[in-house]
Chain A
């Protein structure tokens, strides 16, 4: 257990489904992040929240909708995804320059 918990660990969804990824930390970190990790590509930053306010949206399509109700919880709501959205989605939290990552959700869009 890293201190950052992501659920579910695996998710298979159809292109018309709606699902949500959850990330939770109780490390006292103030910032939370969503990254997308695809094969043979660098990790891509999707969203940044700092003290539950979104501070960065890295031109992510609107079919990905983040939610940060408080500094401990971060969600990624998914709807009408495409097969190319299949990837590992990593959540991270940080305080200053100390980062902790979750183990990710392996998403497959069929």
Chain B
């Protein structure tokens, strides 16, 4: 079974600075997807960024980027120019490469605080 581990229960960053959230995973599959989700106090799980394992290029979405190291099974999220609205719980998630109805397996989450 696949597992996802986030070793940082809490992180903090100063507004406008950069922070990196860590995620490692364990799988025997070669085809899969990785995700970072953000969950603010509103409870809605919001997709931040996704990465297909077969792509070597790291995904980026505006201020968010990932460092995907497939051999090391590592998938960290970098948030640049942090904003107050970035404060939330962040979850790393794994999905098998199966075509349909495949579960997301989540890590424990990292609570990010942004200090003004």
Binding site for B on A (CB under 8 A): 2, 30-31, 33, 40-43, 45, 48-51, 55-56, 88, 90, 92, 94-97, 99, 101-104, 106
Give 1 or 0 for each of B32-44: 1 = CB within 8 Å of chain A CB: 0101010000111
Tell me the dominant secondary structure on chain A's binding face: strand
Using a CB-CB cutoff of 8 Å, which residues 69-116 of chain B contact chain A? 91, 95, 99-109
Min CB distance A62 to B, Å, is 21
Binding site for A on B (CB under 8 A): 4, 33, 35, 37, 42-45, 47, 50, 91, 95, 99-109
Contact B43 A99 (CB under 8 A): no
Chain B contacts for A88, CB-based, 8 A: 43
Min CB distance A49 to B, Å, is 8
Contact B104 A99 (CB under 8 A): yes
Chain A contacts for B103, CB-based, 8 A: 33, 45, 48, 56
Chain A contacts for B102, CB-based, 8 A: 31, 94, 97
Contacts A90-B45, A92-B45, A104-B43 hold; do A31 and B91 have CB atoms under 8 A apart? no
Min CB distance A79 to B, Å, is 25
Contacts A96-B99, A97-B50 hold; do A2 and B44 have CB atoms under 8 A apart? yes
Whole-angstrom CA separation of A40 from B4 in the bound complex: 15
Min CB distance B3 to A, Å, is 9
Contacts A41-B108, A42-B4, A42-B108 hold; do A103 and B43 have CB atoms under 8 A apart? yes
Contact B44 A31 (CB under 8 A): no
Min CB distance B1 to A, Å, is 11
Chain A contacts for B33, CB-based, 8 A: 97
